[in-house]
C-alpha cells in the first residue's frame, strides 16, 4: 500500500478545510446552534418530555446526524469532483496509486472532517440543553460508521456529477428530507400505525434511532437492527465505488 500517496491526498484535503474554515466548520455549527436555541431552549421548554427525555435533549442526536450526513456527502463529493472539474483526476488515475488508496484518502479526509464537526456540535449542544450519553463508545462507533458510509455516498455523487448543480441534487432533494422525516425532531412511535410502517422504509430512521440509543438507551428500532442497517449501507456504498473504478464509469472520457 502506498502510504505516502494516501498521506499526501489526505493532508491536501484537510488543508483545504482550514482554508475554508467558515464554510466547513463554523457555518454548520452556527446553523445547528440555531436549531438548539429555537427547538431546544425556546419550544422545548414548553413541550412535554419525549419518552422520559426533555425535548431539547431528545433532538440532539437527530440534529447531529442531520449535520453529519449533509457534511459527509458535501465534503467527499466536492473533494473528488474538483479534480474532475479541473482535469487533474487523470493525472491521479495515471499515477502509481491504486483506486483503493484514492478512496481511502478522500473518504478518510471527508469522514475526519465530519467526525470533528459532529463532536464540536455535540459540545455546543451542551451549552443549550442538558446532555446525557449512556453509551459513549457506541456513540463514537455510530459517529465513525455514519461518517465513513456517507462520505462514500458523497464520493459516488462526486464521481457521478458533471456539474456543480448536480452535487447539490441528492443532498437537497433526497438526504435532507429523509433526515427530517426520519425522526430528527420526533419519535416515529408518535405516528399512527400506518405511518410508523411507512417510516421504516426510510433508511435514515435506523441511523438516527441507533445514534439516539447511544444517548438515552432507547430508540425507535433495536440497536442490532440499526447497526446492521448501517453496515449494509456501508457495504453497498463500497460495492458501488468498486464497480465505478472497475468499469471506469464517469472516469473515462
Mean pLDDT of the chain: 86
Q: How is residue 191 written as a grid cell?
A: 405516528
Instruction: Please determine, for residue 23, whether its predicted confidence score (pLDDT) is greater than 80.
Output: no
Range of the domain at 190: 3-44+53-247
Percent of the chain beyond pLDDT 90? 33
Q: Which three three-digit cell numbers place residue 166?
A: 448536480
Domain count across the chain? 1
Residue 157 lies in a domain: yes
Average pLDDT over residues 159-172: 83
| pLDDT on residue 147 | 94
Report the half-sphere exposure of 18 (CA within 13 A, side-chain side): 6
pLDDT in tens, 199-218: 889 989 999 999 999 998 88
The verdict on residue 160 lying in a domain is yes
In a domain, 252, yes or no: no
Query: What contacts 17, CB < 8 A, 6 or more positions away?
Result: 24, 25, 75, 109, 113
Q: In the structure, what pLDDT confidence band is assigned to residue 40 with cuts at 50, 70 and 90?
A: low
For 116-152, how does the pLDDT look when each residue is reduced to its tens digit (9 = 90+)? 999 999 998 888 888 889 999 999 999 999 999 999 9
Indicate whether 238 belongs to any domain: yes
In a domain, 253, yes or no: no
C-alpha cell at 159: 464521481
For residue 230, being part of any structural domain is answered with yes
Neighbours of 176 (CB within 10 A): 16
Domain assignment present for residue 189? The answer is: yes
Amino acid at each position: 500500500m502506498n502510504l505516502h500517496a494516501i498521506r499526501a491526498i489526505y493532508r491536501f484535503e484537510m488543508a483545504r478545510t482550514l482554508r475554508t474554515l467558515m464554510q466547513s466548520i463554523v457555518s454548520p455549527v452556527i446553523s445547528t446552534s440555531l436549531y438548539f436555541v429555537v427547538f431546544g431552549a425556546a419550544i422545548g421548554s414548553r413541550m412535554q418530555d419525549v419518552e422520559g427525555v426533555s425535548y431539547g435533549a431528545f433532538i440532539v442526536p437527530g440534529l447531529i446526524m442531520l449535520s453529519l450526513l449533509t457534511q459527509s456527502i458535501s465534503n467527499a463529493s466536492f473533494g473528488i469532483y474538483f479534480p474532475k472539474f479541473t482535469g487533474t483526476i487523470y493525472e491521479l488515475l495515471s499515477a502509481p496509486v491504486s483506486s483503493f488508496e484514492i478512496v481511502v484518502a478522500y473518504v478518510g479526509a471527508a469522514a475526519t472532517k465530519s467526525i470533528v464537526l459532529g463532536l464540536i456540535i455535540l459540545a455546543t449542544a451542551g451549552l443549550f440543553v442538558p446532555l446525557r450519553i449512556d453509551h459513549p463508545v457506541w456513540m463514537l462507533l455510530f459517529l465513525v460508521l455514519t461518517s465513513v458510509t456517507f462520505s462514500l455516498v458523497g464520493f459516488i455523487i462526486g464521481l457521478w456529477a458533471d456539474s456543480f448543480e448536480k452535487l447539490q441534487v441528492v443532498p437537497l432533494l433526497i438526504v435532507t428530507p429523509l433526515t427530517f422525516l426520519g425522526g430528527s425532531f420526533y419519535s416515529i412511535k408518535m405516528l399512527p400505525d400506518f405511518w410508523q410502517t411507512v417510516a421504516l422504509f426510510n433508511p435514515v430512521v435506523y441511523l438516527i434511532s441507533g445514534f439516539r440509543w447511544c444517548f438515552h438507551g432507547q430508540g425507535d428500532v433495536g440497536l442490532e437492527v440499526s447497526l446492521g442497517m448501517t453496515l449494509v449501507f456501508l457495504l453497498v456504498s463500497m460495492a458501488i465505488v468498486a464497480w465505478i473504478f472497475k468499469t471506469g464509469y464517469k472516469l473515462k472520457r
